Structure 1
Amino acid sequence: MTTLAIVGFGKIARDQHLPALSASDRFDLIAVASRHSSLDGVDNYPDIDTLLTEQPALEAVSLCTPPQGRYQQALAAIEAGRHVMLEKPPGITLSEVEDLARRAQRAGVTLFTSWHARAAAGVEPARDWLAERHIRKVDIEWREDVRHWHPGQQWIWEPGGLGVFDPGINALSIVTHMLPQPFFLSEATLEVPENCQSPIAARLNFTDALQTPIHADFDWRQTGPQTWRITVVTDDGTLVLDDGGSRLTIGDDLKLDGEDVEYAGLYRRFAELIERGESEVDITPFRHVADAFMLARRQRVEAFIE
């Protein structure tokens, strides 16, 4: 088993990473590094530098901290010869992630930019079905309640925090993997609260070389039931990937209604990459977010009040 530490023991680490690691036979969680949280039964450290110094047997780290400042943490781990898994988004700029990839290659360690939504149960079957169809249009609806998923987390509204693209990038990670043609942004509108630096909503129009219309609607103001849906209209029927990718319907036929397997899949993939001595650094979803910040029109909306 590969010895591993979690760096940043917040909500996502407790809710997703910890259960996946507890069920894994590929990793042995031996430590946590976190400023404000700790975990019983393992060694706890205030920061990654102390962790790396005091845990010489440590082989890998999973970085679950906010993206601001994550470059230096990943760099420290890589230079110390540890394998690194990055929570999404992998950083705050494309350039820093590309630099980490180069440094990981030179150091001979694995760097894994994890996109958990791609590991949802319905994504691969949807990808296989779409590979043989002509796609006419794509609609992406990703709407949720920020107060529920990120209570009191100010970093998401700061530069580099991505705002509504923090969940929206999950949808982009699915469609960039699932659709057979690469696509690009043609126009966008971002709604930015007057007291924030990052958007609370986004409307995006993409297309591809075949001029396929692809529309995305991201919103962080939806209360009640949450919406994570991708609808693909083809010449052979309509595919709907719902519940974040776990539920797959084609036409009137429910093909799959799977359980939550995303983070278990991520850690299996991380283990495979380590065993093969390979890295997997895909910044395509992140590039679409960068394009939106570069191309979009901004609309100021009312202040966000927690």
Structure 2
Amino acid sequence: MTDVLRVGIIGAGGIARGAHLNNYKKLGGRVEVVAVADVVEKTAKECAELYNIPHVFTSYEEMLKSVKLDAVSVCTPNKFHAPATLAALEAGCHVLCEKPPAMTTEEAERMAQAAEKAGKILTYGFHYRHSPEVETLKKFIDAGELGEIYAARCHAIRRRGIPGWGVFTNKELQGGGPLIDIGVHMLDTALYLMGYPEPELVLGSTYQKIGTRKGVGLLGSWDYQNFSVEDMALGMIKFRNGATLILESAFAANVEKHDVMQVSLMGDQGGADVFPLKIYQEKHETLIDITPAYLPKKDYHEREIERFVDCCLSGTQPISKAHEGVILQQIVNALYQSAETGEAVKL
């Protein structure tokens, strides 16, 4: 064990700066960010200067060979999650990899196996798990307040929220659009609250109706001429325990609200909407709604980074585990496969 966690950053873009580096810095003497790697040298140098990082590289392989690190944040486009994570684990580092785990189920499986072999932590950037709403509802669920959760709905829908920056609309680098980018957040949240049941049957549809034409961009102007991902994905997952989950995700859809991120759960003893948290039950022959009078306010990313550091320094396990990443990746890939073939995928 070490008293100060020596951290390296792979990928020096927006998510590294806004979600990882800012929050590592808040932990003061417990963390030292000592190296950053990005294939774009200018980006790496700018990041190093901004955050006072002493070692700068254009190759994460070189960074891992040249600097002694305890942990790494992987903040690259999705295509590079698996190779960067595998290299970091092989170098003896704990890894916090941004979502989604990888591009394929096989990659996610290799990542989980490598972490187990190395005896290192591998966790993923599903920061909604660290929200006070999810933490509170999990206590209710663990106490049996919802009973058997047999149905769930997930929404990650934007009216015109196609990112006008980065590589979010590049299928080769990302593997897909809203499903693999924002949909996975609500999917993971639902699965976590449901106890991560094993999927049995997956049916999915994807659409590309808005992203390939010029339009109003609430998150900046996107490159509609090179838009290669879906702008909407819909799906249904049937689990081996009999539960069912419905998923809707979209970067752009003709709906009323500009941005909806929501998970709804239905159990035989109660149900809940998560954001904001509201619980629905029947007690003493009365239908009741429960809303928290107070929930602590803390940035989800800040809590995620704080917990990752705690786990690395103490040797405890994170709440987002590598084997759960395999299950989630399996579902995402099955949804895309089903959409492509027009057939349900049996797992």
Range of TM-score over shorter length: 0.7 to 0.9
Alpha-carbon shift at residue 112 of structure 1 (Å): 2.4
Tell me whether 1:168 sits opposite 2:183 in the alignment. Answer: yes
Distance, in Å, in 2 between the alignment partners of 1:3 and 1:183 is 36
Change in Cα spacing, 1:155 to 1:141, as seen in structure 2 (3 Å) is: closer
- The structure with the largest alpha-carbon Rg is 2
Q: What is the aligned partner in structure 2 of residue 263 from structure 1?
A: 301
How is 1:1-306 mapped onto 2 (pairs within 5 angstroms)?
1-25=4-28, 26-34=30-38, 35=40, 36-37=42-43, 38-39=46-47, 40=49, 41-43=52-54, 44-55=56-67, 57-131=68-142, 132=144, 133-135=147-149, 137-144=151-158, 147=161, 150-159=163-172, 160-165=174-179, 166-180=181-195, 182=197, 184=199, 185-192=201-208, 196-209=227-240, 211-221=242-252, 225-242=258-275, 247-251=276-280, 252-255=289-292, 257-274=295-312, 275-276=314-315, 280-281=321-322, 282-283=324-325, 284-296=327-339
Asked whether the 8 Å contact 2:198–2:241 carries over to 1, the reply is: no
What amino acid does structure 2 have at the position aligned with 1:52? L
**TM-score w.r.t. length of structure 1:** 0.83
Deviation at 1:104, TM superposition (A): 3.2
Once the two structures are overlaid, the 10-residue window that deviates more, 29-38 or 154-163, is 154-163
Q: How many corresponding residue pairs?
A: 293
1:257–1:102 CA distance, 2 compared to 1 (3 A): same
- Secondary structure (helix, strand or coil) at the match of 1:296 reads helix
The one-letter code of the counterpart of 1:152 is: W
Amino acid at match of 2:307: R
Aligned partner of residue 81 in structure 1, secondary structure: coil
In the other structure, the counterpart of 2:285 is none
The SS at the match of 1:154 is coil
How far residue 47 of structure 1 moved from its aligned partner, in angstroms, is 2.5
Aligned-pair CA distance for 1:210: 5.8
Relative to its length, the structure with more strand (as a share) is: 1
Gapped regions of structure 2 (runs ≥ 5)? 213-225, 281-288, 343-347
The separation in 2 between residues aligned to 1:268 and 1:87, in whole angstroms, is 15
RMSD, matched Cα? 2.8
How far off is 1:79 after superposition? Answer: 2.7
Q: TM-score, normalised by structure 2?
A: 0.74
Instruction: Tell me the secondary structure at the aligned position of residue 69 of structure 1.
Output: helix
Give the AA of the match of 2:36: V
- Identical counterparts, % of pairs: 22
Alignment partners' CA distance in 1, 2:71 and 2:37: 13
